[in-house]
Amino acid sequence: MAGRIPQTFIDDLLARVNIIDVLDGRVQKLKRAGKNYSGLCPFHKEKTPSFSANQEKQFYYCFGCGAGGNALGFLMDYENISFPEAVEELAKTAGMEVPRDDSPQQREKDQQLKKLYELLEAASQYYEEQLRRNDNRTDAVNYLKSRGLSGQAAKAFSIGFAPSGWDNLLKHLGEGDPHKAKLLEEAGMLIHNEDRDSRYDRFRNRIMFPIRDQRGRTIAFGGRVLGDDKPKYLNSPETPTFHKSRELYGLYEARKHNSKLDRLIIVEGYMDVVGLAQYGIHYAVATLGTATTAQHLERLFKIVPEIIFCFDGDNAGREAAMRALKTAMPVIEDGKEARFLFLPDGEDPDSLVRQEGEIAFSERLGKAQPLSEFFFKSYSESADLDSMDGRARFSTEVLPAINAMRPSLLQQMMLDRICELTHLSLEQIQTTVNFHEAIAAPAPAQNTAPTTAAEPFDAPPAEYDYYPSDNNEYADFGSAQQEPYYEAQPQQGYKQGKQGKYKGGFKNGKFGDKPRPNLPSPKNTELSFAEKLISLLLHYPQLAGEHRFPDGLALAEDRDILLLIQLINYYKENPAATLGQLAVDWREDEKLSQTIIKLYEISTSLEIHSEADARLYLKDSQHGLELKALELEISSLQKKHQLDREEKLALANKFQQLHQLKNISKD
């Protein structure tokens, strides 16, 4: 049914449905555990329950794989269906009929997207037919046979053939219909020659591999050239149906063959995926003209606990493996495993599995290097660990990468391994690395505006000199180098000053020298100051509307601060929004939703148990918020090459305010 589902209906539906009823029968061993329900997570294999659901908040979260959300999100992931389909399914259980936004604009948008899918499916069928019946298919058939591909394997992946010629597909699907031709162009199947105002087929004389989404719909194509034309492999461009940084070739087919996968292999080509499947290895996927992204890995780790990267053993393969390693490090967490397999020179997965068969290839997979082993082997090969200089250099290279990992047992064990290899304590290594990072940091931009005697505020007094540095009392609020929680290194949220005087935030129930006997000290030092405020607002959203957040924060480039502002604005516009509604409203940004879920769960370590404590925490945090806002405003003015009179007055005034605020924190 066309039309957008009104948000009011979604809110009403979630309010009527009990998430426990939705989970019952889908989550094994689901039973009450105090205020929550626990059970075995259906999204990854486990023996000990790590899946938790809260009936009051109508929310679920798995501490093993990170899956979380409301009843709609659960149905989408469990049943592998789209959001509208999940709404329809949930509405049936509640005896409700789903209304639709039938505005002309929405109907037109839905109809156009539907036609794109239909045309792409028709193109896939056309290419399959050409592989079977086209008079010039001989080269295509011979190529597939030379790669050892059977007719059954080609059919399973709907492999086809795009014959030579400029307009075969255009004539077959869009001839005489300008609107359909334009849709084919939008779907990436035609190229528009603006000089001649004509269109021609994008794919010509190529083996065609249809790319499918998780529902099995054809969304794009990859084509392997049969002659000497370039490029050898050609993919569809980005379209309304296809986003290459999110999609993976063969994932639909792998899940179709086995809905409860244990592992997935990431290979480099379409034929590798198809060839492995032909020999019984139905769990290979390939990226689509891009390196593996964090978005790819986040998606795959929701499906399986283990990912194996498979590369050629040459230099290019090693370089690709290093890129994959750097991508995987911030994503990996306890319960997940990434491993690396290097093939003999001159071999790829397709050729190797044909030579040695499924059993031998599977044995190779079992011997793939764990992430930690590959990491230390790669970095230690060029390091002289027998000398002090070599160990020092090794430490400064590897420690930032490990610090970028999510807090986990694996991270801690890798830190311990550094200490073993260098014969240094972790504190010694961290101090040295922090020192090198500090002296390597770029100098702050200074105001180079010309001065004249006629302007009384050309430059602020010396006592107001301001240079952002690591010694800033609230540097942990969100520096330009800081990453968000989901890919962050551990951050020390509360710091000691040079003389040991406490600066910023809470310590032992105090803010500065003012006692706060009823407010416990936050114990979580893995969250930044901004993330702690986000966590607080997720539990007490009503405080967003009654608390004043400085306008200057909007100048920040740090993602944690920008997320905080986004959350504040959301709750001000939706003061009655629940966490479930927030998850629905932000569902299109999967990474953002997962970040919110994790911050919500982890925020219990703040040990703030009442709205009164939360309000007090925000009140005392105001000092840090105002400092950060002033710093941002001053920095913004300093970056200008020339200031007018009003801006110079404003700059001097802000320096004075900053000076006063700093004096308050010292008192």
Q: Is the peptide bond before 400 cis (omega within 30 degrees of 0)?
A: no
Output the pLDDT for position 143. 93
Out of 32-41, 201-210, 634-643, least confident range? 634-643
DSSP letters for 354-415: HHHHHHHHHHHHHTPEEHHHHHHHHHHTT--TTSHHHHHHHHHHHHHHHHTSPSSHHHHHHH
Whether 657 has a pLDDT exceeding 80, the answer reads no
Whether 474 has a pLDDT exceeding 60, the answer reads no
Output the pLDDT for position 468. 33
Output the pLDDT for position 433. 56
Measured distance CA(189)–CA(234) in Å, rounded: 12
Model confidence band, residue 667 (pLDDT cutoffs 50, 70, 90): very low
For range 173-196, the mean pLDDT: 89
Q: Token digits for 265?
A: 């292999």
Show contacts of 97-101: CB within 8 Å, 24+ apart.
98/1, 98/5, 98/9, 99/5, 99/6, 99/9, 100/1, 100/2, 100/3, 100/4, 100/5, 100/6, 101/3, 101/4, 101/5, 101/6
Model confidence band, residue 661 (pLDDT cutoffs 50, 70, 90): low
Please name the helix (run of DSSP H) or strand (run of DSSP E) that holds residue 564, with its range, or none: helix 559-573
Compute, in degrees rounded to 10, the torsion defined by CA atoms 212, 214, 215, 219: -30
Q: Token digits for 339?
A: 């491993």
Whether 460 has a pLDDT exceeding 50, the answer reads no
Measured distance CA(494)–CA(159) in Å, rounded: 58
Contact predicate 161/130, CB 8 Å = yes
For residues 472 and 175, which has the higher predicted lDDT (pLDDT)? 175
Output the pLDDT for position 214. 77
Q: Token digits for 8?
A: 């009011």
Output the pLDDT for position 342. 94
Contact predicate 219/225, CB 8 Å = no
Whether 479 has a pLDDT exceeding 60, the answer reads no
Interior angle at CA 318, CA 316 and CA 319, nearest 5: 65
pLDDT in tens, 111-164: 888 899 999 999 999 999 999 999 999 999 999 999 889 889 999 999 999 999
Interior angle at CA 12, CA 10 and CA 18, nearest 5: 95
User: What are the residues facing 27 on neighbouring strands?
Assistant: 24
Contact predicate 236/188, CB 8 Å = yes
For residues 89 and 12, which has the higher predicted lDDT (pLDDT)? 89
* Predicted TM-score (pTM) of this structure: 0.57
pLDDT in tens, 328-348: 999 998 889 999 999 998 888
For range 9-36, the mean pLDDT: 84
Measured distance CA(555)–CA(558) in Å, rounded: 9
Whether 83 has a pLDDT exceeding 90, the answer reads no
Highest mean pLDDT among 242-246, 530-534, 633-637: 242-246
Measured distance CA(587)–CA(73) in Å, rounded: 8
Model confidence band, residue 173 (pLDDT cutoffs 50, 70, 90): very high
20-42 burial, b for 16+ CB within 10 Å, e for fewer?
bebbeeebeebeeeeebbbbbbb
Whether 578 has a pLDDT exceeding 60, the answer reads yes
SS3 string, 152-176, reads HHHHHCCCEEECCCCCHHHHHHHCC
Helix 371-380 to helix 315-328 angle, to the nearest 10 degrees? 120
Contact predicate 335/303, CB 8 Å = no
Output the pLDDT for position 591. 66
Whether 354 has a pLDDT exceeding 70, the answer reads yes
223 in helix, strand or coil?
Answer: strand
Output the pLDDT for position 660. 66
| Gyration radius (Cα) of the chain, Å | 29
pLDDT in tens, 491-523: 333 333 333 332 333 333 333 333 333 333 333
Output the pLDDT for position 374. 94
Output the pLDDT for position 488. 33
Output the pLDDT for position 547. 67
Out of 166-170, 452-456, 562-566, least confident range? 452-456
